């Protein structure tokens, strides 16, 4: 592990091996985040191995996320599985909450951020281990759901979390969209795509204003995110979801364990 970190930190950022690593890993993360979620932990792990403080890693991921979900939103829309009304209804409160979450994340110490993120990752593990798909499919309803104030505030809270860290926010939007809007998993994933596009640029701006975005890495990595997102959006939601979910569980567990051990 230390040898890998030493290689990443000592190599030229624009050398062919580093560029390939960024694009390949970015593609894997983009693919997983499109069809399920939670894979941004891989981004954090890679960027920290490259020597970035976790706050900079947090900001640097946001450009690729924006590029990826902008691409997948168009594809989901063309497939007819993106309800733009519901997505905007979800995306607006998420975006409002994200501004505050990003500001908090950019202003606290990396040590505190790592401990908080480790706690969030443990929560994500519980959500991932839980058979979410079977549970969510039982919630489908054809009736229109009123978007009440408390539902609005729930998405604001999800947005605050998403502004703070992108790890797992896609899963939260996915779960909440099914439970609150009573849509099916496929269309909830469409809602997630556009909702993320609406909130992520605001978080990106906040981190950029605080000097916490490594732009060269973000651009190269973002290309990989777009590639992975494009491939993921072409697959049915049910294809590989179980495998991807368990793969993500392993990654999140390893990263959460690393953060906890690093800070005790």
Domain boundaries, the chain: 2-263
Overall residue count recorded for the chain in this entry: 264
Cα separation, 252 vs 121, in Å, equals 6
Give the model confidence (pLDDT) of 66-96 as tens digits: 999 999 999 988 888 888 888 999 999 999 9
User: Rounded to an integer, what is the distance from CA 139 to the centroid of its chain?
Assistant: 24
Please compute the mean of the pLDDT values over residues 54-58 and round it to a whole number.
91
The per-residue pLDDT for 198 is 94
Give the model confidence (pLDDT) of 5-50 as tens digits: 565 665 667 788 889 999 999 999 998 888 777 788 889 989 988 8
User: In 14-23, which positions are buried (b, 16+ CB within 10 angstroms) versus exposed (e)?
Assistant: eeeebbebbb
The per-residue pLDDT for 137 is 54
Distances (CA, A) of 145 to 140, 175, 219: 11, 15, 39
Cα separation, 22 vs 38, in Å, equals 18
Torsion (CA) 41, 90, 220, 42 in degrees, nearest 10: 10
Strand, coil or helix: 184: coil
Choose among 230, 197, 224: nearest CA to 70: 197
- The dihedral region occupied by 38, where left means phi > 0, alpha psi between -120 and 50, and beta the remainder, is left
Percent of the chain with pLDDT over 90: 38
Choose among 62, 45, 26: nearest CA to 212: 62
pLDDT band at 166 (very low <50, low <70, confident <90, very high): confident
176 versus 92: the higher-pLDDT residue is 92
Average pLDDT, the chain: 81
The per-residue pLDDT for 15 is 84
> Taking the complete model, does pTM exceed 0.85, yes or no?
no
The per-residue pLDDT for 239 is 55
**Per-residue pLDDT for 262 more than 80?**
no
239 versus 26: the higher-pLDDT residue is 26
């Amino acid at each position: 592990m230390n040898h890998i970190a030493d290689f990443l930190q000592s190599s030229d950022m624009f050398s062919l091996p580093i560029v390939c690593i960024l694009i390949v890993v970015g593609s894997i993360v983009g693919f997983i985040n499109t069809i399920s979620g939670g894979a941004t932990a891989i981004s954090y792990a890679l960027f920290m191995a490259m020597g970035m403080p976790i706050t900079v890693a947090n900001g640097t991921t946001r450009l690729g996320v924006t590029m990826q979900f902008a691409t997948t939103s168009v594809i989901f829309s063309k497939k007819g599985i993106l309800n733009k009304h519901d997505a905007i209804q979800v995306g607006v409160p998420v975006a409002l909450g994200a501004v505050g979450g990003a500001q908090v994340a950019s202003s606290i110490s990396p040590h505190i951020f790592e401990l908080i993120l480790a706690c969030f990752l443990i929560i994500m593990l519980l959500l991932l281990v839980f058979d979410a798909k079977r549970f969510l499919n039982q919630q489908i309803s054809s009736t229109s759901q009123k978007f009440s104030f408390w539902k609005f505030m729930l998405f604001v809270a999800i947005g605050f979390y998403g502004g703070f860290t992108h790890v797992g926010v896609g899963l939260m939007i996915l779960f909440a969209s099914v439970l609150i809007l009573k849509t099916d998993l496929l269309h909830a994933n469409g809602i997630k795509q556009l909702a993320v596009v609406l909130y992520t640029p605001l978080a990106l701006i906040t981190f950029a204003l605080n000097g916490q975005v490594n732009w060269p890495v973000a651009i190269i990595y973002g290309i990989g995110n777009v590639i992975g997102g494009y491939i993921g959006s072409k697959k049915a939601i049910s294809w590989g979801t179980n495998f991807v979910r368990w793969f993500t569980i392993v990654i999140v567990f390893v990263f959460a364990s690393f953060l906890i051990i690093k800070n005790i």
